[in-house]
Structure 1
Amino acid sequence: MLIQYSTNLDLLEKLNIEGFFVGWPSPPSSTVFRKLLEGSYKAVLAFEDHKLVGFVNSISDGVLSAYIPLLEVLPTHHNKGIGKELIKRIQKELEHLYMVDLLCDQELISYYEKLGMMKAQGACMRNYDRQSGN
């Protein structure tokens, strides 16, 4: 089956969006997942038939800056270039902005560097009891 990509979030009504947030102790429900995508500044979906297989989203002020909080590809679809294509497409959606930031685990930095991003330092706060979005 051919992987298709779209920024049209109306497709979420027709797609099976189950199977994401693997390994999260308190993953968001499908309702919360749909809400976070719909509330994004920009998002790109990767789907195969009627199944969402990957996504990336961004939040932004729409003027100078954006942040990419989530890039996920279903484990069954890893190593097929889907994550790379999602990042390429969200970068295109955000190219009018001055800065696009992303925080990731240390072992993923080289992945993002290969996609045109540069290593930077940052800080974050996590409220793991709020991880499900409820």
Structure 2
Amino acid sequence: MKIRYLTTLDSISESDLAEGFFEGWPDPPSYPNFIRLLHGSSHVVLAVEESSGKVVGFINALSDGVLSAYIPLLEVIPMYQGNGIGQELVRRMLELLNGHYMIDLMCDAELGGFYEKIGMHPSGGMILRNYKNQSGM
């Protein structure tokens, strides 16, 4: 399995997205909303499986371009997990965001160790979830 990483959406369409993203979400975004969220991000890194051309992982960030950035999503489809793709996506995103004062993300407690290995630190935070909008606005 050979993976190439892209930081642009220029050649990506709905048909390039592999099946299996947002596993466990009761109401995941539709593929049109998935593309919209990627285009609405200030930064993206995509993991593309060379032989199929399918996007099998992604990370996105929202940034003010001055001080702060927030990483809302990191996803690798289940059959590709455990191959270092997630770590590489985070590494490349942190490289893109280098120079920002703060780079924040929220994750479930069981995922904290993954991000700590990459150099991030636990912190407190507050969230509000409107689950009726989980599939997108």
Q: Specify the TM-score bucket, using the shorter chain as the normaliser.
A: over 0.9
Amino acid at match of 1:47: V
Where does the alignment leave 5 or more consecutive residues of structure 1 unmatched? none
Tell me the TM-score normalised to structure 2 length: 0.94
Tell me which residue corresponds to 2:36: 35
Tell me the TM-score normalised to structure 1 length: 0.96
**RMSD (Å) for aligned C-alpha atoms:** 1.1
Tell me which residue corresponds to 1:10: 10
Question: Any idea what the Cα deviations from partners look like across 1:4-28, whole Å, max 9, x if unmatched?
Answer: 1010111312623432111111100
Deviation, 1:113, is: 0.5
Q: Is the 8 A contact 2:61 2:70 kept in 1?
A: yes
Q: Is the 8 A contact 2:62 2:71 kept in 1?
A: yes
Where does the alignment leave 5 or more consecutive residues of structure 2 unmatched? none
SS in structure 2 at match of 1:20:
coil
Whole-angstrom CA distance in 1 between matches of 2:10 and 2:134: 25
Question: Any idea what the Cα deviations from partners look like across 1:11-66, whole Å, max 9, x if unmatched?
Answer: 31262343211111110000000000011010100010311110000001111000
Tell me which residue corresponds to 1:107: 110
The share of aligned pairs that are identical, in percent, is 54
How many residues are aligned here? 134
